[in-house]
Structure 1
């Protein structure tokens, strides 16, 4: 039924558990996966614009190195599970938009992701990436709830 899963990860413990479960699901379904990590854009508030260039370059370098390590670890898990895998990094301040765009552009037929379970006022104020994906995606979303 599902042939290409998008597995977004933020590197958290919850996302790691969801990734493991989703890889098992993909293996059982004979599906391939694309693992996505969304990196935030660079932002700084300062009145000294001459400081920005080095800071921006350092941020870009560090965030890309972190994403590369995270995606390499996830791809190794996929290989161990025997699941065909590709990785992708996106840069966006709106992770839910990057996730739905990656699924659409990649021809994915399922997005499988974790939720951190923020509820009540905290969840409303902070907002949940998973909730935003659920409410905007035209592709089915499988949510792994972890405690």
Structure 2
């Protein structure tokens, strides 16, 4: 059935549920798990002298945060004896990076978390999961 599962992580508690579900699914199917953490690009402004954080310091901090997130997934996979490949990428739109990474890794399933917002809140805030659902050609398992 599914042999290559991608689970993005942002380090949140709701994402931890998706990671747990993805690991259990990968275990039951004998699948390979892939994880990705998307880093924010540096917020360049017209007046670069006004930046509170130097670009390299910002990039280093983003990489440390993303590396910690994917390491948590790696550790959980190792404990469950599920093979895991982990990556960090920088992108302005995380949903695009998630879809592109899934294609690059030839994944056949995405497992993502959803906060379950409804109505105007969902419309105004949107979500990366909703955008992936809207634009992905791959199946997406949404965990709440």
Task: State the TM bucket, normalised to the shorter chain.
Answer: over 0.9
Structure-1 residue corresponding to 2:27: 27
Structure-1 residue corresponding to 2:71: 72
Structure-2 residue corresponding to 1:90: 89
- Residues 1-147 of structure 1 correspond to what in structure 2 (within 5 A)? 1-45=1-45, 47=47, 49-52=48-51, 55-145=54-144
The TM-score normalised by the length of structure 2 is: 0.94
1:91-110, CA deviations, whole angstroms, 9 ceiling, x for partnerless residues? Answer: 11211100000000100000
Q: Does the 8 Å contact 2:22/2:33 carry over to 1? A: no
Aligned residue for 1:10, secondary structure, equals coil
Please give the alpha-carbon distance, in whole angstroms, between the structure 1 residues aligned to 2:8 and 2:53: 30
Runs of 4+ in 1 over 2 A off after TM superposition: 44-47, 49-54
Please give the alpha-carbon distance, in whole angstroms, between the structure 2 residues aligned to 1:128 and 1:51: 30
State the Cα distance separating 1:70 from its structure 2 match. Answer: 1.2
Please give the alpha-carbon distance, in whole angstroms, between the structure 2 residues aligned to 1:59 and 1:42: 7
**Which sections of structure 2, spanning at least 5 residues, go unmatched?**
none
RMSD of the alignment, in Å? 1.5
Alignment coverage as a number of residue pairs: 144
Please give the alpha-carbon distance, in whole angstroms, between the structure 1 residues aligned to 2:129 and 2:72: 22
The TM-score normalised by the length of structure 1 is: 0.92
1:51-109, CA deviations, whole angstroms, 9 ceiling, x for partnerless residues? Answer: 54962111100010111111111101001111000101111121110000000010000
